[in-house]
Structure 1
Amino acid sequence: MSAPTTVQWLRGACVRVGAGSGRLAAHYAARLLAFGRRRYEGIAAWVNRSSGAWWLAKLALLFFLAGRLRLILFAVAERVYARVESGAWGWLLWTVAVLWVIGAYRAGAEDWKPKQLAGSAPDADEDQEPAAESEPDEAQEPGEELPAGPPLPALPDLRRALLRIGTPHAHITALADDLSTTPERVREALAKWDVPVEPVRMKGRPSSSTGVKGGPAVHPALAPRAEDVAVVAAGGAANNSNNNAFETVPDGENPHRTHVLWKDTA
């Protein structure tokens, strides 16, 4: 392949300078916009750190500085234009033109890449493959959502809580405290087992509140079972005060067994 002639080289150089000029113009415009955006965000953050009179004072200061800066820029531009028009700074035009042509010729290359703008560096992991999505918990079935908040109390837990509280009626807040859960979760558990909830007066509390009726009117689902009494007795005796709706009595023949006796709370 023969070497290009001078005319061909000049024609290719002109095309390359033209393409590079467009690239440089876009590059410097983007840098100017990025610089202005950073300055604006910094100034806005500085102003918004204050409020009231201080906020107004900062805003007035910015308007004053903007007015002074405009006058300074106009004065400098007018001075530069006058010097260039008079021919005193003709060398400045030639220097800028030569530097621009050199830069445009370099930017016109096919492998040219603009300098990375400050604050727009690509993430370190941009070229890396995306990390594999975390595998779902094996204990969780597909499409099953984990319950939010404390777990729902089970029916045996509710019966044992009533045994430990040991009053004819129990407020929902008292049951929640005994079960180390929230009143909302206790309400959900009671609704699940169709246990009626109504305002009741719990002995030892100054006022009535929403709760569960106890004593002989206790819901069948909440009636104590022998295994519940055994668990409560093993973990600590229930509150067998005079206010109890029932009490546990040990079996005379088998000390490991207990009996539940309802008490007349009238």
Structure 2
Amino acid sequence: PRLSPRDDPRAAAKRSLPPAYTRPEALANAEGVVRELQRLADERARLGQTVLQLRGQKEAEAARAKKLEQHFQKGQEKYLESIRTLADTIQAKEGQIANLTRKHEQSKAAQRQYERRIEGIEAEKVKQQKEDEARVRMLVQEVQGLREHQDSLRIRMRQQQEEATSIKQESLQKINQLLRQIADMEAENQKSAAEVQRKEEELLRMRQCLDQAKANGQQHTKELQSKLEQELAEQVALHRHNRALDSRMEVSKRRLVAEGRLQQEL
């Protein structure tokens, strides 16, 4: 018999698909499931035809048995054996019909199971799409945060470069100032050393005069002795001044070395 559009398994399989699987790309993904549904539908149709044929055979055999029972009264035992054989055949056919009916029900259950699987696949697809969208939003926020952090780092780097340039200029000014101070101190130290040498030479000359004056008289000796002590005091003061200059030069040199290291780091 020809199936109505409502009972057509192909139409039923198509109607059972969710809307998302009617699109070409979704149908391609569910191709295996649709083929299985088609196979089950074909098997159901074939089983239905087989059931109809068996029922027709059953009716034919029953009619034949009834006819044999009516027309052949004499060979009753023989015919009864034939009837029993036919009854067994009918019973076997009925068992086959029951088995086919059970397979038909199993096929319908499998079809419903595949339909539920299709619905589950569609629900899982929607869930995965939502998770992907949430993950994309989170990644966009992370990228935006990284860009803001990168801009902040660029601003800080530019500020640090400006500070380093300012510190470098100040360090250069300090180095030049220290170099001038050291040059002035060295000049003053050389001048003081020349003065010390002059005083020493004058002191030596005064000692010679003192030795010579010992023979010329006591009064002149006291004057020379007083002048010699004054010169000695001035010489001691010059030595102290030279030591102070050396100490200041040492401090300036250490500061110059520190500024040079800072300049190299910058």
TM range (shorter): under 0.3
TM-score after normalising by structure 1: 0.23
Considering only CA atoms, is the larger Rg found in Structure 1 or Structure 2?
A: 2
Bigger strand share: 1
Bigger helix share: 2
TM-score after normalising by structure 2: 0.23
